[in-house]
RNA sequence: GCCCCCGUAGCCCAAUGGCAGAGGCAGGCCCCUUAAAAGGGCUCCAGUGUGGGUUCGAGUCCCACCGGGGGCACCA
């Protein structure tokens, strides 16, 4: 497609007929996009399977590279100029790497399930699938117009049954697995059952409440023990219930102030029966494997904080009851060394032992404040439990630090001191962390100190604070004090020695053991929404195993999402704590019950009516790009190994470059790692991590304008005059903010295509700063990149005639160092994803060539490398010029220019001469000059001489090619 | 409160510990134009947030503080 020179119908007769304008750019760009699509330029062959055509010739001998963006949610508003930042970044990098000889796969898909589509459907009465499909079409068009080098054969959409079939299949894999601590890996549940049957394994204690060995359990009891081992399981536990959204949410979806991340509705903790994923089994590996990943440190840190490992011990306290011994209470502490200072125990209000530990009546002689103005401990406990469950997280937040609690009327024995200490419940102890119970050590813990002050509890320091310490609790390092009994003496030890000594004593005496806990909780996986993946789960409606969750067989996948009359989730007033979740799928009455033969004859089953959370589809999509049409596996193992497998021993494997926003630090990125590790354990993938290298693109902010009333005005209608900004002749104030409707500063890629063309837009996005940095988007600055392309165009094409104007003569000697320095700099910018410096280098070369060859043709030996240098950044104009320079093939796989080292060093260099570190002169020396030659030359500079005078030169620092510094004595 | 990142010209940003400026926008001047600008050329503009320290030499390394952004927050 060596197009006839584009006829340029000049709207303005004064513009040269063949100038590179937005209109010309638009025609060139669309014709190249057509050609790339027709020729399959960016099709990356797989080693085997339906996409393997061309592998031998195009890929086999080359290194591979898999580049991936976080795929977009196809919202009805389309893309604004902020979205493509990362997409363009990966595009430039992948085009560059392709020119370096890699078999590059760059992909894009759609995260199609989600709440907005459902809400839009409710408003318009259109099926969410219909509106989502329309949005996908619109966004596909925008992405194509950007000229991205995606292998479009591999586009995926999470809402397609052919896709979510495999989401459901992976769910089944997780459901049908348990975590084998000994192997430190997930294994199939069948293996668990056969080991239990063979007697080579006992159930994990917490899974077997029956107090009998496996061999003596009934069939139903065995089922419940097995189900309690599964990595996906149903549990009745306090969860985040959001009445305003009508659904439960995962911890990751709740903000620090107890509201939903989406919609900002209050969230309440309520015990509900819900699906969870045992991500906590992977806590240690999710933590440890972060080290080897090439991820931003900030994201690694956020994941480490979220996983929140604490190393400490569990300690058992024996309680006393009116009849003698009561139940023992297990607490978790990171400071076992302070046990001698534990003067009371606190349980979370929801703790399972609270009822059993509540005394009949108040013991004699206790302070009124401990009675909570209640007649009996049971009444006080009931009132307190009620009030704390009613409070939203937000309210708990608001009275943070005001400690309250209730005495249970019972005491426990401190195993170190033998003393009786009172047992309280208080909501500053959280059910979900550790054991849900603590030993309170006011001397070394600020929270415990506050509570102790409020309830007049005794305080014993067990770590000596430094002299002059005037604070309350002392949490720092110091020697142990008050920590000795006739059986154990910690006094004088530092904190870590004391911890170790205490733990070994506890273990010896049977009072406790070392233990590590995590802040990470199991992932709440069910949602009461319509627009998501149905679970591949059914429940028998009768029989002995009634209500037991059972996975449907693989041949029944996908479990299709049924149509319903009403897609809307049942929502409630924001603060309706007592409301109950209600899944929209429960309304699909025909779908709800199903007759199946799952091995014991035809029976009736009820389907699971919850759907999966929005994150499910994005937990594994990078794998589906690799083998998108495979109907017998989510991905052929050989193909996975080729694109994502480890490169050498110790390498985790994964996507070679993954780019997306930092807002997914602990949501998508943690969930996806978890799923990937399960698939790895079960032998389905060879990589142990999904994303080897991660880069967060920055956020773009655009100018927004407020009028005198403080209202936002349409930013596109604001004019700037004489340093001020005006809207309808009224002065307005400029600020920068998130692009969108609310600030009325929406700028779309379509505006940019129309005004400048895609190449200028791409250049501008990449030019304003490093990829990972947030920066303002200044619509007025885009013109600079168009000017650059116009100058480039003019170097190759005569604006009057449209003829190619390059010459065949060699380049000037003075041009070669410039060219090669620029090549070197552009490569450096491409490698480091700092495309802004690559563009600056290219601009230098364009400016140099424009000046040096103002009156004569630019040599082909300069023009061609220049075109190739800019090709990853501005691919359309580069292809067009390359074609006009006489090349029939696309430049997509042409070798990227290489800098010749001989031209990187000048013969003569200017070096700085300093005296005592101050610049005193500048002299020219031969580039290869050694230290003494540089010094000799430097001493001849008159100004340097004057400064040296007669003083003694104590030392001379010579940096070759840079400077000489005389240090005087 | 704790943790992380960032402060260079009017603005966006460059500068392996070695002469603070590569590139762009805006401003000014000139050329081309009847005129204009989304053409061409030239040009003004900071001593690197503040205060210490290390070093022959600090934008760069270390410490403290100030300002901006982000994360976590009763996690025992």
Measure A776 CA to B57 C1' (Å). Answer: 36
Of the candidates A334, A348, A332, which has an alpha carbon nearest to the alpha carbon of residue A271? Answer: A348
When pLDDT is averaged across residues A486-512 and rounded to a whole number, the result is: 93
Q: Which nucleotide is nearest to A959 (CA to C1')?
A: B18
pLDDT of residue A7: 36
Q: Is the Cβ–Cβ distance between A867 and A796 less than 8 Å?
A: yes
> Alpha-carbon distance A496 to A502, whole Å?
10
Nucleotide B10: nearest residue by CA–C1'? A723
Q: What is the pLDDT of residues A601-638, one digit of tens each?
A: 899 999 999 999 989 999 999 999 999 999 999 999 99
Do A309-518 and A905-968 share a fold? Answer: no
Q: Which nucleotide is nearest to A401 (CA to C1')?
A: B74
Sequence-distant (≥ 6) Cβ neighbours of residue A601 within 8 angstroms: none
% of chain A at pLDDT higher than 90 = 58
Q: Which nucleotide is nearest to A436 (CA to C1')?
A: B76
Q: Phi, psi (5° rounding) for residue A14?
A: -80, -20
Q: Which nucleotide is nearest to A432 (CA to C1')?
A: B75
Q: Which nucleotide is nearest to A255 (CA to C1')?
A: B72
Measure A906 CA to B21 C1' (Å). Answer: 20
Sequence-distant (≥ 6) Cβ neighbours of residue A793 within 8 angstroms: A19, A20, A799, A877, A881
**Residue A235 to residues A207, A245, A522, A549, Cα–Cα distance (Å):** 12, 21, 11, 11
Strand pairing partners for A179?
A186
Rg (C-alpha) for chain A, rounded Å, is 35
Q: Phi, psi (5° rounding) for residue A408?
A: -85, -10
Nucleotide B32: nearest residue by CA–C1'? A14
Measure A949 CA to B19 C1' (Å). Answer: 22
When pLDDT is averaged across residues A309-333 and rounded to a whole number, the result is: 89
Measure A853 CA to B41 C1' (Å). Answer: 14
Q: Phi, psi (5° rounding) for residue A604?
A: -95, 135
- pLDDT at A3 exceeding the cut of 50: no
> Alpha-carbon distance A922 to A937, whole Å?
10
Nucleotide B35: nearest residue by CA–C1'? A14
* Lowest-confidence segment of A98-102, A145-149, A178-182, A572-576 by average pLDDT: A572-576
Superfamily for the A309-518 domain = Valyl/Leucyl/Isoleucyl-tRNA synthetase, editing domain (3.90.740.10)
Tokens of A312: 């400490």
Sequence-distant (≥ 6) Cβ neighbours of residue A304 within 8 angstroms: A287, A290
- pLDDT at A784 exceeding the cut of 90: yes
- pLDDT at A42 exceeding the cut of 60: yes
pLDDT of residue A2: 36
Q: How many Cα atoms are found within 13 Å in the side-chain-facing hemisphere of A658?
A: 26
What HEC string does A404-459 produce?
CEEEEEEEEECCCCCCEEEEEEECCCCCCCCCCEEEECHHHCHHHHHHHHHCCCCC
pLDDT of residue A256: 67
pLDDT of residue A399: 54
Q: What is the pLDDT of residues A497-508, one digit of tens each?
A: 999 999 999 999
When pLDDT is averaged across residues A89-116 and rounded to a whole number, the result is: 95
pLDDT classification of A24: cutoffs 50, 70, 90? very high
pLDDT of residue A380: 92
The per-residue pLDDT of chain A, averaged, comes to 89
Of the candidates A238, A243, A270, A265, which has an alpha carbon nearest to the alpha carbon of residue A254? Answer: A265
Nucleotide B3: nearest residue by CA–C1'? A301
pLDDT of residue A183: 95
pLDDT of residue A397: 53
Q: Phi, psi (5° rounding) for residue A478?
A: 180, 170
Q: Is the Cβ–Cβ distance between A687 and A825 less than 8 Å?
A: no
Q: Which nucleotide is nearest to A428 (CA to C1')?
A: B74
% of chain A at pLDDT higher than 70 = 96
Nucleotide B13: nearest residue by CA–C1'? A769
pLDDT of residue A927: 74
Measure A493 CA to B20 C1' (Å). Answer: 54
Rounded to the nearest 10 degrees, the angle between the axes of helix A875-884 and helix A783-796 is 10
Instruction: Name, of A181-195, A513-527, A647-661, A687-701, the range with top average pLDDT.
Output: A181-195
Nucleotide B6: nearest residue by CA–C1'? A773
Measure A641 CA to B50 C1' (Å). Answer: 54
Q: Is the Cβ–Cβ distance between A637 and A570 less than 8 Å?
A: no
Q: Which of the nucleotides in strand B have any atom less than 7 Å away from a protein CB atom?
A: 3-5, 11-16, 18-20, 22-26, 33-42, 56-58, 69-76
Which spans in A718-811 are helix H?
749-755, 758-767, 783-796
Sequence-distant (≥ 6) Cβ neighbours of residue A250 within 8 angstroms: A240, A523, A524, A525, A613
Measure A954 CA to B57 C1' (Å). Answer: 15
Of the candidates A442, A428, A343, which has an alpha carbon nearest to the alpha carbon of residue A384? Answer: A428
Measure A723 CA to B32 C1' (Å). Answer: 28
> Alpha-carbon distance A366 to A359, whole Å?
13
- pLDDT at A136 exceeding the cut of 90: yes
Q: Which nucleotide is nearest to A25 (CA to C1')?
A: B38
Of the candidates A203, A272, A238, A225, which has an alpha carbon nearest to the alpha carbon of residue A436? Answer: A238
pLDDT of residue A247: 86
Q: Which nucleotide is nearest to A445 (CA to C1')?
A: B76
Q: What is the pLDDT of residues A359-416, one digit of tens each?
A: 998 998 888 888 888 889 999 999 988 887 766 554 555 555 678 899 999 999 999 9
Nucleotide B25: nearest residue by CA–C1'? A781
Nucleotide B36: nearest residue by CA–C1'? A14
Sequence-distant (≥ 6) Cβ neighbours of residue A759 within 8 angstroms: A25, A29, A147, A789, A873, A874, A875, A876, A877
Q: Which nucleotide is nearest to A333 (CA to C1')?
A: B76
Return the residue matching tokens 């001469």.
A913
Measure A705 CA to B25 C1' (Å). Answer: 19
- pLDDT at A1 exceeding the cut of 50: no
Measure A932 CA to B18 C1' (Å). Answer: 17
Q: What is the pLDDT of residues A152-202, one digit of tens each?
A: 999 999 999 999 999 999 999 999 999 999 999 999 999 999 999 999 999
Q: Is the Cβ–Cβ distance between A743 and A704 less than 8 Å?
A: yes
When pLDDT is averaged across residues A45-60 and rounded to a whole number, the result is: 95
> Alpha-carbon distance A816 to A806, whole Å?
16
Q: Which nucleotide is nearest to A308 (CA to C1')?
A: B75
Rounded to the nearest 10 degrees, the angle between the axes of helix A22-39 and helix A128-145 is 110
Q: Which nucleotide is nearest to A336 (CA to C1')?
A: B76
Measure A964 CA to B61 C1' (Å). Answer: 22
Q: What is the pLDDT of residues A731-772, one digit of tens each?
A: 777 777 777 777 788 888 999 999 999 999 999 999 988 998
For A905-968, CATH number out of 3.40.50.20, 3.30.2180.10, 2.60.40.10, 3.10.20.590 equals 3.10.20.590
Helix (H) / strand (E) containing A605 = strand A602-607
Measure A55 CA to B44 C1' (Å). Answer: 58
Domain boundaries, chain A: 170-304+523-607, 309-518, 905-968
Neighbours of A648 (CB within 10 A): 5
When pLDDT is averaged across residues A4-28 and rounded to a whole number, the result is: 70
Which spans in A768-859 are helix H?
783-796, 815-831, 835-852
Strand pairing partners for A921?
A913
Q: Is the Cβ–Cβ distance between A5 and A802 less than 8 Å?
A: yes
Tokens of A574: 């924001």
> Alpha-carbon distance A343 to A439, whole Å?
8
Measure A684 CA to B45 C1' (Å). Answer: 61
Q: What is the pLDDT of residues A818-831, one digit of tens each?
A: 999 999 999 999 99
Q: What is the pLDDT of residues A872-915, one digit of tens each?
A: 999 999 999 999 999 999 999 999 999 988 887 767 777 888 88
pLDDT of residue A871: 97
**Residue A246 to residues A188, A216, A333, A587, A760, Cα–Cα distance (Å):** 35, 43, 37, 15, 46
Measure A495 CA to B74 C1' (Å). Answer: 23
- Interface confidence, given as ipTM, is 0.94
When pLDDT is averaged across residues A913-940 and rounded to a whole number, the result is: 82
Measure A776 CA to B49 C1' (Å). Answer: 20
Nucleotide B12: nearest residue by CA–C1'? A768
Q: How many Cα atoms are found within 13 Å in the side-chain-facing hemisphere of A294?
A: 13
Measure A104 CA to B64 C1' (Å). Answer: 49
Q: How many residues are present in chain A?
A: 969
Q: What is the pLDDT of residues A436-477, one digit of tens each?
A: 999 999 999 988 998 999 999 999 999 998 877 777 888 888
Measure A834 CA to B59 C1' (Å). Answer: 19
Give the long-range contacts of residues A323-331, CB within 8 A, separation 24 or more: A326/A356, A326/A357, A326/A410, A326/A412, A327/A353, A327/A356, A327/A357, A329/A353, A329/A357, A329/A412, A329/A423, A329/A437, A330/A435, A330/A437, A330/A512, A331/A434, A331/A435, A331/A437, A331/A438, A331/A439
3-state secondary structure of A517: strand
Q: Which nucleotide is nearest to A960 (CA to C1')?
A: B18
> Alpha-carbon distance A704 to A746, whole Å?
9
pLDDT of residue A398: 53
- pLDDT at A838 exceeding the cut of 90: yes
Handedness of CA A123, A124, A127, A133 (dihedral sign): negative
> Alpha-carbon distance A333 to A498, whole Å?
14
> Alpha-carbon distance A816 to A820, whole Å?
6
pLDDT of residue A393: 52
pLDDT of residue A548: 94
> Alpha-carbon distance A894 to A896, whole Å?
6
Which spans in A177-243 are helix H?
189-198, 219-227
Tokens of A279: 């991500």
> Alpha-carbon distance A321 to A546, whole Å?
39
Measure A910 CA to B29 C1' (Å). Answer: 31
Q: Which nucleotide is nearest to A847 (CA to C1')?
A: B23
Neighbours of A735 (CB within 10 A): 13
Q: Which nucleotide is nearest to A777 (CA to C1')?
A: B12
Q: Is the Cβ–Cβ distance between A47 and A639 less than 8 Å?
A: yes
Nucleotide B39: nearest residue by CA–C1'? A15
């Amino acid at each position: 497609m060596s197009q006839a020179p584009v006829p340029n119908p000049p709207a303005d007769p004064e513009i040269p007929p063949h100038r590179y304008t937005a209109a010309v750019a638009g025609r060139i760009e669309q014709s190249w996009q057509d050609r790339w699509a027709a020729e399959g330029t960016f099709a990356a062959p797989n080693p085997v399977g339906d996409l393997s055509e061309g592998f031998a010739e195009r890929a086999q001998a080359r290194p591979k590279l898999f580049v991936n963006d976080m795929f977009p949610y196809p919202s009805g508003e389309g893309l604004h100029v902020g979205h493509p930042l990362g997409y363009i970044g990966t595009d430039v990098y992948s085009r560059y790497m392709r020119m370096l000889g890699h078999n590059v796969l760059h992909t894009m898909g759609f995260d199609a399930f989600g709440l907005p589509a459902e809400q839009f459907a409710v408003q318009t009465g259109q099926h969410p699938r219909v509106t989502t499909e329309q949005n996908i079409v619109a966004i596909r068009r925008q992405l194509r117009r950007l000229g991205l080098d995606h292998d479009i054969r591999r586009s995926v959409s999470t809402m397609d049954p052919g896709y979510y079939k495999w989401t459901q299949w992976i769910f089944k894999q997780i459901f049908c697995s348990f975590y084998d601590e000994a192997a430190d890996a997930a294994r199939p549940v069948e293996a668990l059952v056969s080991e239990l049957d063979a007697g080579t394994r006992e159930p994990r204690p917490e899974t077997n409440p029956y107090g009998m060995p496996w061999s003596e359990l009934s069939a139903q009891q065995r089922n419940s023990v097995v189900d309690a081992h599964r990595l996906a399981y149903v549990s009745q536990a306090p969860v985040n219930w959001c009445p305003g959204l009508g659904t439960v949410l995962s911890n990751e979806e709740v903000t620090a102030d107890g509201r939903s991340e989406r919609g900002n509705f209050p969230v309440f903790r309520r015990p509900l029966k819900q699906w969870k994923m045992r991500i906590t089994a992977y806590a240690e590996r999710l933590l440890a494997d972060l080290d080897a990943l090439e991820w931003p440190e900030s994201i690694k840190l956020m994941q480490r904080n979220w996983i929140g490992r604490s190393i400490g011990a569990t300690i058992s306290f024996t309680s006393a009851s009116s009849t003698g011994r009561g139940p023992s209470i297990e607490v978790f502490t990171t400071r076992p060394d302070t046990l001698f200072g534990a003067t009371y125990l606190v349980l979370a209000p929801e703790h399972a032992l609270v009822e059993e530990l509540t005394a009949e009546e108040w013991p004699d002689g206790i302070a009124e404040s401990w009675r909570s103005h209640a007649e009996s401990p049971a009444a006080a406990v009931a009132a307190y439990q009620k009030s704390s469950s009613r409070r939203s997280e937000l309210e708990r937040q608001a009275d943070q630090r005001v400690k309250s609690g209730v005495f249970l009327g019972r005491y426990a024995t401190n195993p170190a001191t033998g003393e009786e200490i009172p047992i309280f419940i208080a909501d500053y102890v959280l059910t979900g962390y550790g054991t849900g119970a603590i030993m309170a050590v006011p001397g070394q813990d600020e929270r415990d100190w506050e509570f102790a002050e409020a309830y007049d509890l005794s305080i014993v320091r067990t770590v000596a604070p430094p002299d002059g310490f005037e604070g309350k609790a002392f949490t720092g390092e110091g020697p142990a004090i008050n920590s000795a009994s006739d059986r154990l003496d910690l006094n004088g030890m530092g904190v870590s020695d004391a911890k170790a000594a205490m733990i070994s004593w506890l273990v010896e005496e049977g009072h406790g053991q070392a233990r590590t806990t995590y802040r990470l909780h199991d992932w709440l996986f069910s949602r009461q929404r319509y627009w998501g993946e149905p679970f591949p789960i059914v429940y028998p409606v009768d029989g002995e195993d009634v209500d037991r969750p059972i996975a449907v067989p693989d041949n029944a996948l996908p479990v299709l999402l049924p149509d319903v009359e009403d897609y809307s989730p049942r929502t409630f007033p924001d603060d309706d704590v007592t409301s109950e979740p209600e899944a929209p799928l429960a309304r699909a009455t025909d779908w709800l019950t199903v007759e199946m033969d799952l091995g014991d004859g035809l029976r009736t089953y009820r389907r699971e009516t919850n759907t999966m959370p929005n994150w499910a589809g994005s937990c594994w999509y990078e794998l589906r790009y690799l083998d998108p049409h495979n109907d017998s596996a989510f991905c052929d193992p050989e193909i996975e190994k080729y694109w994502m497998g480890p490169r050498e021993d110790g390498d985790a494997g994964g996507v070679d470059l993954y780019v997306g926003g930092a807002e997914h630090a602990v949501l998508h990125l943690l969930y996806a790692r978890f799923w990937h590790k399960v698939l790895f354990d079960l032998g389905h993938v060879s990589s142990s991590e999904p994303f080897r290298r991660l880069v967060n693109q920055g956020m773009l902010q655009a100018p927004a304008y407020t009028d005198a009333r403080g209202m936002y005005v349409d930013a596109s209608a604001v004019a700037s005059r004489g340093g001020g900004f005006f809207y309808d002749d009224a002065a307005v104030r400029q600020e920068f903010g998130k692009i969108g409707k609310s600030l009325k500063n929406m700028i779309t890629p379509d505006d940019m295509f129309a005004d400048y063309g895609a190449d200028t837009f791409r250049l501008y996005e990449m030019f304003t700063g490093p990829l990972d940095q947030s920066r303002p988007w200044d619509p007025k600055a885009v013109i600079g990149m168009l000017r650059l392309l116009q100058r480039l165009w003019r170097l190759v094409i005569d604006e009057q005639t449209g003829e190619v104007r390059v010459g065949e003569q060699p380049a000037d000697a003075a041009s070669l160092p410039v060219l090669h320095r620029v090549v070197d700099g552009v490569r450096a910018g491409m490698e480091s994803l700092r495309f802004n410096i690559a563009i600056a280098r290219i601009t230098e070369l364009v400016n140099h060539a424009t000046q040096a060859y103002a009156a004569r043709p630019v040599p082909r030996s300069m023009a061609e490398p220049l075109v190739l240098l800019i090709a990853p950044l501005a691919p359309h104009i580069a292809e067009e010029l390359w074609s006009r320079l006489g090349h029939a093939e696309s430049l997509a796989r042409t070798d990227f220019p290489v800098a010749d080292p001989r031209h990187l060093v000048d013969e003569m260099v200017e070096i700085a001469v300093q005296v005592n570190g101050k610049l005193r002169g500048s002299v020219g020396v031969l580039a290869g000059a050694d230290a003494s030659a540089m010094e000799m030359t430097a001493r001849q500079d008159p100004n340097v001489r004057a400064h040296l005078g007669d003083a003694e030169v104590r030392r001379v620092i010579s940096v070759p090619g840079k400077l000489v510094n005389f240090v005087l004595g």
